[in-house]
Structure 1
Amino acid sequence: MESAIDQHLKCPRTLSRRVDDDYQPPFPMWVGRADATLTQVTMAYLGIQFKEEKRAQALQAMRHIVSSFALPDGPGNHDMSYHLDNQGYGNFIVVGYWRDAGRYCRWMRSPDVAGWWDSDARLADGLGYFREVFSPRAEQFETLYAFKEDLPGVGAVMDRISDDIEEHGYWGSMRDRFPASQVDRMRPSGQLEVLSGEPAKGGRVLLKGHDNIALIRSGQDWVDADPEERALYFNEMLPPLQDGMDFLRDQGKEIGCYSNRFVRNVDLEGNLLDIAYDIGHWRSLDLLERWAESHPTHLRIFTTFFKVVTGLKKLRLYHEVSVSDGATQWLEYINCHPQTGMLRDAKTS
């Protein structure tokens, strides 16, 4: 048994954990490990928004983004997903993970990539686009896996998996897995603002983020699950999960959730795969915790997970959560409807 916080990220605590030192978790879970050379990662969510009649064109744009990852300094891992939002728009989202934020900056600023995103053609081709990019430092993100091989998301650009960890199975364990939680309450400062453009009119809109926006990606993979586990997922786990995701999508503004998308992974042809995950943006980690610990929609998800987790063999469940500095965030929307992502909650000056 070991701490979720790796040895090179430990420091003298000024803030206590939520459990006693002799706590024993009820079942095994693991976290991703990276050596000291990983100091900051970049998580880039690159989206294409479309009406159904533009699906073929949106697929072409998605494939173009993926092909650009083969350029120098491309990401170490990526995946593609689809989401139908509550305004009736389809959204393909390509997610890239960079182990080195500097490599992301070089890739993003390369002529082929920057030229495509900055081109006037993005304003005139009948599609919407968005870039939601976050670059947390090593102490600003945590992971949790119910499996030990082929880690998805940010885990794929880390070096290895931990042994069984202590900090899980109790309220507050998410925060306790953050190295920053040893000395920092990770409170938000500032507010989400429109920096340029007018969301109601479309065109290019840039937002200014703020310190300690929380980003959660929480996933389920039933690719190799047998019929019994598939039935368990669809009949017991998915209904309360879908209810919670719909609540956050439609009513999350009142509780501090800026944006929530429950997405399904796709291939390059747009075919749905047996993998899904939630992408949630919150004003703060504290507000995310408050929903998780007290709201009926999440309590049903949590109790169902506890009921089934020890029997899982091929159904893969995981999450990754991060906070980041406002200066390391890039939030751009091009011809997207004003309810897209964090456009909805951004204040205008």
Structure 2
Amino acid sequence: MESAIPAHLETTRTRHKRVPDDYQPPYPSFVARYKPAVSRVVMAYFGVQSRGTAPVAAMEALADIAGRFAAEDGPSHWDRAHYVDQAGYETIVSVGYWDDLARFDAWFEPAREAWTGQQRERIGTFIEALRPSVERHETLFSSPDRPEGVAVVAEGMSGEVQEHAYWGGMRDRIPLSQVDPMSPGGLPELIRDGGRLRVKAHDNLCLIRSGQDWSDTEASERKLYLDDVEPVLREGMDFLRDDGIAIGCYANRYMRVLSAEGSMSEKSYGQSWWKSLAALERWAESHPTHVKIFGAAMKYLSTLGPSAKLRLYHEVTVAAADEQFFEYLNCHAKTGMLAAVETVVA
């Protein structure tokens, strides 16, 4: 049994784990392992939104960012997903992942100017990017042989880890939690830059991407997931999308991953911005919408046992203020972190 925190990031704890040292989790889970030389990772979300069927400008923008991703210094991995937001806008998000900050910095500015620096007809574009130190980041996988998201750029997967299957495990997997409560500081502010709107968030903003892959399931398991689990998951995701602000969720997207050809895959993920890790924890532990999700998932897994083919994962980051970038052009006022803004700076 390994610790989720790699040996080179372990330090003398001033804050204790939620479980004793001899805790044994009831089932196996795994975390991504980066090369020890990797000090930061980058996750950059490039979104395009439009009303109804995506216009030509949206297709051109998507082709442009895909080309930029393929260029020198582009991400080591990227994927693309689709959702319809709370205002009815079709949104496609292309997410790039880097494990080399210098490479990202060399690549980013021209890509930013091309994405949010030019007006396009009938579409909005946005960038939401984090560049956290690895001390501020964790992952978790139900299976070690198919990484998703940021874990694709990692060196590999761990063996079975101890810090999971209990409330508080998410926090305990973040190396910084050994010494820091990661409390939020300040309020989001809006900065106007011509037509562009930038959001300056605050210290210890939290991002989670939490995914499901049912592509390996067979007939009976697939029916069980799609009939009994997915509708409950969608209900919880819709609550966070529409009413999350009151509990500390600034924005939530429940997306279907797109194949390389642009068709819907049998993968989905929720991606949400939270005021704090503590707010995310409170929702997960006690809110009725997540209690229902957890109950449906446990019933599903207990019914199928080790034969379950559904794959689950997540990645969680608690980012410092200087590790965040949010920029929007021609997007509606509730897009992403725009929904969080309380103070306007001219």
Give 2:127's match in structure 1, choosing from 131, 134, 147. Answer: 131
CA deviations 1:288-325 (Å, max 9, x no partner) are 00111110110111122233334454321111111111
Q: What residue number does 2:7 align with?
A: 7
| CA deviations over 1:169-196 (Å, ceiling 9, x no partner) | 1111100111111001111111111022
1:63·1:268 contact (CA, 8 Å) conserved in 2?
no
Which range is displaced more, 73-82 or 228-237? 228-237
2:244 to 242, 249, 252: 252
Closer, same or farther in 2 for the Cα pair 1:159/1:209, shift >3 Å? same
Q: Counterpart of 1:271? A: 263
Q: Percent identity?
A: 45
Aligned partner of 1:17 in structure 2 is 17
1:109 has 2:104 as partner: no
Give yes or no for contact 1:209–1:326 (8 Å, CA) kept in 2. Answer: yes
CA distance in 1, matches of 2:8, 2:196: 42
Partners of 1:204 and 1:152 in 2: how far apart?
A: 31
The match for 1:340 is 335
1:195-206 alignment, distance < 5 Å: 195-196=191-192, 203-206=195-198
Deviation at 1:144, TM superposition (A): 0.5
Change (3 A) 1:128 1:312: farther
SS in 2 for 1:344: helix
Structure 2 contact 205–273 (Cα < 8 Å) conserved: yes
Partner residue in 2 for 1:146: 142
- Quick one: which of 317, 320, 326 aligns to 2:315? 320
Provide closer, same or farther for how the CA distance between residues 191 and 185 of structure 1 changes in structure 2, counting only shifts above 3 A: same
Query: Are the aligned partners of 1:264 and 1:275 in contact in 2 as well (CA < 8 Å)?
Result: yes
Aligned equivalents of 1:3, 1:170: Cα separation in 2? 15
Matches within 5 A, 1:81-100: 81-100=81-100
TM-aligned CA distance change 1:93 to 1:312, over 3 Å: farther
From 181, 185, 191, the equivalent of 1:185 is 181
Q: Cα–Cα, structure 1 residues 302 and 118, in superposed 2: closer, same or farther, change >3 Å? A: closer
Q: Residue 143 of structure 2 aligns to a residue in which SS?
A: coil
Letter in 1 for 2:249: C
TM-superposed CA distance for 1:231, in Å, is 1.1
Q: Which amino acid aligns with 1:336?
A: C
Residues 295-304 or 272-281, more deviating: 295-304
* Alignment pair present for 1:289 and 2:281: yes
Cα distance in 1 for partners of 2:158, 2:43 equals 22
Question: Using the alignment, how far apart are the partners of 1:41 and 1:145 within structure 2?
Answer: 18
TM normalised by structure 1 equals 0.94
**Counterpart secondary structure, 2:227:** helix
Runs of 5+ unmatched residues, structure 2: none
Please tell me the residue identity of whatever aligns with 1:84: V
TM-score by length of 2: 0.95
Residue-by-residue CA offset, 1:189-212 (whole Å, 9 max, x unaligned): 1111102259xxxx3101101111
Aligned-partner Cα distance in 2 for 1:155–1:114:
24
In the alignment, what sits opposite 2:160? 164
Are residues 268 and 158 of structure 1, via their aligned partners in 2, closer, same or farther at CA, if it must alter by over 3 Å? closer
- In the alignment, structure 1 segments of 5+ residues that lack a partner are none
SS across alignment from 2:129: strand
Query: Which stretches of structure 1, 4 residues or longer, exceed 2 Å deviation after superposition?
Result: 53-57, 267-270, 303-314
Range that drifts further, 53-62 or 81-90 = 53-62
Matches within 5 A, 1:226-237: 226-237=218-229
The separation in 2 between residues aligned to 1:154 and 1:229, in whole angstroms, is: 28
Which residue identity does 1:117 align to in structure 2?
Answer: W
Cα root mean square deviation, aligned: 1.5
Alpha-carbon distance in 2 for matches of 1:343, 1:124: 20
Q: How many pairs does the alignment contain?
A: 341
Please state how far the C-alpha of 1:269 moved relative to its aligned partner: 4.7
